[in-house]
Amino acid sequence: MTKNKKDTTAEPTLNLNGVDYKINDMSDDQKVLLAHINDLNRKVDAAKFNLQQMEVGRNAFVGALSGALTMEEPGEEEDIRVTASTKRATPSPVPGGVAN
């Protein structure tokens, strides 16, 4: 009884557009281009991974803010308004308060 073994001495190949190319037969310039493609594929995968982390993190912070805003006791929240000139959230003046 014989076992089917994979040929471990097979030359590495690249299949591009349905055509197999032996990497050892490529010119040095072609091998450099292939190295760039492989490196860019790794970077794209890493960027997708980082994007997933950032989206989950952002969603967690949005959820935390939403929970914090809905859990405030009535009367404890401060009236917040956005001023047109600064685009920053600033406390609204207290009705009947004295300006310093």
Report yes or no: 91 and 83 within 8 Å, Cβ to Cβ: no
**Domain range holding 53?**
13-90
Report yes or no: 34 and 26 within 8 Å, Cβ to Cβ: yes
Return the pLDDT at 18. Answer: 96
Return the pLDDT at 74. Answer: 58
Query: How many domains are there within the chain?
Result: 1
Q: Coil, helix or strand for 80?
A: strand
List the chain residues with pLDDT less than 50. Answer: 86, 88, 90, 92, 94, 97-100
Return the pLDDT at 49. Answer: 98
In a domain, 27, yes or no: yes
In a domain, 98, yes or no: no
What tens digit of pLDDT does each residue of 4-29 get?
666 667 899 999 999 999 999 999 99
Return the pLDDT at 38. Answer: 97
Distance from C-alpha of 38 to C-alpha of 12, rounded to nearest angstrom: 14
Distance from C-alpha of 22 to C-alpha of 55, rounded to nearest angstrom: 41
How many other β-carbons are positioned within 10 Å of the β-carbon of residue 13? 13
Return the pLDDT at 100. Answer: 45
In a domain, 4, yes or no: no
Return the pLDDT at 86. Answer: 47
Return the pLDDT at 5. Answer: 62
pTM confidence score: 0.56
Distance from C-alpha of 92 to C-alpha of 95, rounded to nearest angstrom: 9
The kind and range of the H/E element at 91 are strand 89-91
In a domain, 8, yes or no: no
In a domain, 5, yes or no: no
Return the pLDDT at 9. Answer: 78
